[in-house]
Structure 1
Amino acid sequence: MLLAVVVSGWLTRAIPIPIPLPLIQIALGALISSATSHSMALDPHIFFLLFLPPLLFLDGWRIPKRVLKQDRVMIVQLALGLVVVTVVGMGFFLHWLIPAMPLPVAFALAAIVSPTDPVAVSAISARVPIPKRIMHILEGESLLNDASGLVCFRFAVAAAMTGVFSLSSASLTFLWVATGGLLIGAAFTYAVAFAQTWLGRHFGEEPGAQILISVLIPFGAYLIAEHLGASGILAAVGAGIAMSRVELTGRALAVTRIQRKSVWDMIQFSLNGIMFVLLGEQLPGILRGAVQIVQETGHHNPWWLVVYALAIHAGLTLIRFGWVWLCMQVNGFIARKRGGQADRIDLRLTLAVSLAGVRGAITMAGVLTLPLLLPSGAAFPARDLAIFLASIVIILSLVIASACLPRLLAGLELPPASARQAEEEEARKEAAMSALQAIEKARHLLEPAQENPQMYAEAATRAMDVYRQRIDNGSLADEEAENLRASAELERYFRVVGLRAERDTIFRLARTDQLSDEASRTLVHEIDLMEARLR
């Protein structure tokens, strides 16, 4: 599966037609299953533990917190309100459409296809200019609806297993599952961060160990929450959000942050890729089981599976479109009542947001955790059919979004990024002022104890000149500032050229045994860090 993920990356760049990466990975998985004897049967609980905690932890860690605060009303409406409406509406619709699927299983299927996947949207929108605010709302929605959809899925599966469902009991349980999961995840992250800080202060910090701890945090939070009867999914999300706060303390070493980012990028790419490859690998076997279920309903033509999947996707899109439009109307009315200005409702953008609700890795991970057997020992009803329909909905949402989003968003006027640029410039100035004060303070501390204070003064002046130039650039005329930026870009280009020549020379010396491997690795690492900083 990992090899297929690597090959999919090559194929998506080699194929001239822009095909979303998840679709290529699904096709490779189906090829592996049909062309080889390899097949995989996973324990659902182990599957849930291995794949979901790190993905949700990373979502919580990297989601822009300002967006969560700024658009929190819209995000909550989509992540919670839309999930409940989807579960109830699609649950009854699925049971009516497929009578052989019991109502609790229909609710479980509706719950698991309700979460959206921003990774899949990003793969589609790589060549499409989705407005930043819309993209951040979709990311925030996905962060929360993963948890709400999976919690609803858990209750539906429990009802299917026991045949009993109590709304009052479920509501109380939901409060503990939700709040307990978030609190446990956050508390676990803060406890680990405190222990890391104490150990680092007394014994030093090893980047490799720090990175490994960050990888283990979501699994620890998940297992503790599940042991206490709370949501391990929400614990992973809470741990990720807390991790973003811990990161702002700046306690980690710079080299740890650089290496940790690369490790987590690889984990995210690998896990998401494996999910879609696994989906393709499971499709042939799932199709056989689903065909048998369809025949039990009285339909002997397997094309009814496609009809079911199209109906489900159409229902999901219509519910999403109606809910987004309704929320924008309500939010606009409330804003006008408060004397504010309501956002203009653009039907084209509303439809784009509806189609951008692409299903992906979370839906795949969740649906594969459907139990194999009931407590009585009988097979879980319509399990293969539910998995197959969820799989086809994922593929349909990817295909339709990749075909329609570029056309819907073509020519869309995007808001200028001037506010963000001004914010960054102001932050750079403030950081440069702090750097000047720190250098001046360090200079006065060092000079009295030295025999040659002039050397320290000159060195401090050279270091301070860099920061003075950064501050001055912001107050120059536009043309002059632009010339300075162009000059800085040229200087950066020439420095990168020089660093590449340095690195080539180091490699040549090592190849000809004029330099030891250990020394060459040290020198190349220094050059790599300098080039990364310049870029």
Structure 2
Amino acid sequence: MDTISIVLILLFAVVVSGSLVRMLPFAVPLPLVQIALGAALTAVADVGVTLHPDIFFLLFIPPLLFIDGWRIPNEALFQDIGFILELALGLVVLTVLIVGLLIHWLIPAMPLAVAFAVAAVVSPTDPIAVSAITSRTPIPKRLMHILEGESLLNDASGLVCLRFATAAALTGTFSLVDASLTFLWLAIGGIAIGVAVTWAAATGKRWMNQHYGEEPGGYILLTLLIPFGAYILAEEMHCSGILAAVSAGVSMSYFSTWQEARASTRLRGTAVWDTIQFAANGIIFVLLGEQLPGIANGAMESVRQAGDSNPLWLVVYIVAINLALIALRLGWVWASLTFFLFRAGKRQEAVARPSWRLVLATSIAGVRGAITLAGVLTLPLIMPDGSDFPARNLAILLASGVIILSMVIASFALPPLLCDLELPPDPSRQDEEIQARIAASEAAIRAIRHRQHQLAEGREDADFYADVAARVTDLYRQRITSRQAVSGEQPTVVRLEEAERQLRLSALRAEREQILRLRRRRQIGEEAARKLVREIDYIEARFS
């Protein structure tokens, strides 16, 4: 089957998976449905995808890491940065060491370096999989931010450890001193290159916009190229392309605050990136399902060569690795929280002790996903001497099994654990938001007055502009008045704003339906209908 047909089939499978998840009466993680569809493809069509590790990694990893870094709230990231770093760095190293030794003990035929590579690749977590699992049982926002921050950083640390383990498997040697120096170069160089590429792109685009105007398509295309440019440049400089993509995304969230793009450009860019993120994650899991039968056959052959004729040992290995990952994570989370409470006590701070459900939910929420799969598929196909890479199919199957089983466990365990779960008190940002809205409304009123004087200067109908300006100004004054309520009245204000939002949405949808009805009756032209519907869509996006 040719490449174009394969791509179209994979994309269609991703679309079908999204529809199936919404149709099912019970909650099933989207990645599990996509894996099942991928496996079904092999039964009905000879897709026969050949995955080249380097190309696969380049296509999928940079954009996924970049958009995660771009969209995570920086304040939320730094609010719990200590706990996030402990999970993303300390837990990853501990996982690589203990789980790597466990895998080698379970499967002596698997070289120790390859066992460490498998442990490294199953150490990163995936918040997108958690979001899919908890779509019908909302996860507390602060816990979700912790999982997102952990995933953002342990993607990099886990895949860097994978790089070292793979190099050791290929060369047969490992030096802790050389690895430490290499890690520093990989980390510092990768982060610096990611920031530099984003800064250069943002600065150049800002200069172009100021002197020659903005072109939405060019701006969006530039953001799509940034992660690939940062990754490729870092790899050419023998730095970490993974960290370059992550730092490019995080720095993009800073640079975008002074990148004055038009509202329509930002809306289009958000839609494009949502589509790319959905498609890339979906294709990865569909490919996993498509490859799974062949991987399973190769893994069973590896097990037989190791002296185990019963393929059920593969299930035993996968369950043992998952239990070890959960136990390690549970112990690490408990120790981290205990140490945090100890430090707070030393500072004589009153901190509420988290419930056992929070500790257990944080542990089980460490679901493996797209990054784990993409990472394990980058294991080399052959050794330097031309022989096959040892136990590659078995390594891929173990990682795939960990992904699937971790999702299944989380699907059943997280909803009851998260039901009515309360986190320790979090400083409210409601007052901060209210003050920002008031300041923005006051700035709008000043701009209206300034523009009114410009429009009315030297004109005989100056009163017309004064009346229009007064009407628009009254709208902003109402906003200011409604948000200057005392703290005791704030819940009422929130209810009023929610009621207004619902009414406006109903009105906008009625407007759009009427315009489409007029178009179907051919009472208005297509161009006019498109223009009016687009205007309503933009307004609805604000209230949605």
* Alignment TM-score > 0.5, same fold: yes
Q: Which residue of 1 aligns with 2:461?
A: 452
Matched, 1:22 2:31: yes
Summarize deviations over 1:169-212 as a string: whole Å, max 9, x none. Answer: 11011011011111101110110111111222222211111111
Cα deviation for residue 490 of structure 1 reads: 6.4
Q: Encode CA deviations 1:394-429: one digit per residue, 9 max, x unaligned.
A: 000000000111122233235788923333222211
Contact 2:194 2:245 in 1 (8 A): yes
Distance 1:193 1:393 in 2: 39
1:362 equivalent in alignment to 2:371: yes
Describe the SS at the equivalent of 1:419: coil
Choose the corresponding residue for 1:503, options 515, 532, 535.
515
User: Which whole-Å deviations, capped at 9, do the CAs of 1:459-488 have from their partners, x for residues lacking one?
Assistant: 111111111000111235739747854763
CA pair 251-293 structure 1, distance change in 2 beyond 3 A: same
Kindly indicate whether residue 371 of structure 2 is the aligned counterpart of residue 371 of structure 1.
no
Distance between the aligned counterparts of 1:108 and 1:482, measured in 2?
51
Judge conservation of contact 1:112–1:153 (CA < 8 Å) in 2: yes
Partner of 2:320: 311
Range with bigger deviation, 193-202 or 76-85:
193-202
| C-alpha distance in 2 between matches for 1:110 and 1:486 | 48
The code of the aligned residue for 2:271 comes to S
Matched, 1:246 2:255: yes
In structure 2, runs of 5+ residues without a counterpart are: 1-9
Deviates more, 1:477-486 or 1:91-100: 477-486
Distance in 2, matches of 1:392 and 1:159, equals: 24
Whole-Å separation in 1 of the counterparts to 2:263 and 2:436 = 19
Aligned equivalents of 2:155, 2:131: Cα separation in 1: 17
CA apart distance, 1:507 = 2.6
User: What do residues 136-186 of structure 1 show as CA deviations (whole Å, max 9, x unaligned)?
Assistant: 101000000000000000000001001111100110110110111111011
SS for the counterpart of 1:298 is coil
User: What letter matches 2:385 in structure 1?
Assistant: S
Give the drift of 1:529. 2.0
Where does residue 5 of structure 2 map in the other structure?
Answer: none
Gap change, CA 1:417 and 1:469, over 3 Å in 2: farther
Residue 285 to residue 493, structure 1, CA distance change in 2 (3 Å): closer
Pick aligned residue for 2:161 from 152, 160, 167: 152
Residue 474 of structure 1 contacts residue 481 of structure 1 at CA under 8 Å; is this kept in 2?
yes
- Distance change >3 Å, CA 453–CA 14, structure 1 → 2: same
Whole-Å separation in 2 of the counterparts to 1:488 and 1:221: 44
Matched, 1:353 2:362: yes
Q: Is 383-392 or 496-505 further displaced after alignment?
A: 496-505
Residue matched to 2:210: 201
Q: 2:505, 2:453 → 1: CA distance?
A: 35
The alignment yields a C-alpha RMSD, in angstroms, of: 1.9
Is residue 357–residue 421 contact of structure 2 (8 Å, CA) maintained in 1? no
- Distance in 1 (CA, whole Å) between partners of 2:102 and 2:382 is 25
| Offset, 1:494 | 5.5
Counterpart CA distance in 2 for 1:491 and 1:122 is 29
**Deviation at residue 216 of structure 1 after TM alignment:** 1.0
Show the 5 A alignment for 1:272-351.
272-351=281-360
Any unmatched runs of 5+ in structure 1?
none
In structure 2, C-alpha distance between the alignment counterparts of 1:93 and 1:436, rounded to whole Å = 66
| Contact kept? 1:499, 1:531, Cα under 8 Å | no
Partner of 1:85: 94
Equivalent AA in structure 1 for residue 97 of structure 2: V
CA contact (8 A) 2:206 2:259 kept: no
Residue 106 of structure 1, aligned match among 115, 119, 126: 115
Which of 412, 417, 436 is equivalent to 2:421? 412
Indicate the percent of aligned positions where both proteins have the same amino acid: 56
Residue pair 2:519, 2:525 contacting (<8 A) in 1 also: no
Asked if the contact 1:34/1:284 (under 8 Å) is kept, the reply is: no
The answer to whether the aligner puts 1:271 opposite 2:284 as a matched pair is no
Residue 190 (str. 1) matches residue 199 (str. 2): yes
Give the 3 Å change call, closer, same or farther, for CA 433–227 of structure 1 in structure 2.
same
CA contact (8 A) 1:506 1:523 kept: no
Query: Does the residue aligned with 1:126 lie in a helix, a strand or coil?
Result: coil
Question: Within 5 Å, which residues of 2 pair with 1:125-140?
Answer: 125-140=134-149
Of residues 425, 434, 439 in structure 1, which corresponds to 2:443?
A: 434
* 1:436-468 deviation digits (Å, cap 9, x = unpaired): 122222223333332222112111111111110
Residue 47 (structure 1) aligned with residue 47 (structure 2): no
1:277 is aligned with what amino acid? V
> Which residue does 2:542 correspond to in 1?
533
The secondary structure found in structure 2 opposite 1:127 is coil
For 1:175 and 1:485, the matched residues in 2 are separated by: 51
User: Partners in 1 of 2:27 and 2:397 — Cα distance?
Assistant: 26
Distance 1:520 1:74 in 2: 52
In structure 1, what is the Cα distance between the partners aligned to 2:349 and 2:481?
A: 38
Q: For the Cα contact (< 8 Å) 1:309–1:393, is it kept in 2? A: yes
Query: Alpha carbons of 1:236 and 1:498: their partners in 2 closer, same or farther (altered >3 Å)?
Result: same
Does structure 1 conserve the Cα–Cα contact (< 8 Å) formed by 2:63 and 2:224? yes
Q: What is aligned with 2:80? A: 71
Instruction: Tell me whether 125-134 or 272-281 shows the greater mean CA deviation.
Output: 125-134
Separation (CA, whole Å) in 2 of partners of 1:480 and 1:362 = 44
Aligned equivalents of 2:506, 2:130: Cα separation in 1: 37
Amino acid at match of 2:390: P
Indicate the residue corresponding to 1:58 in structure 2.
67
- The normalised TM-score by structure 1 is 0.95
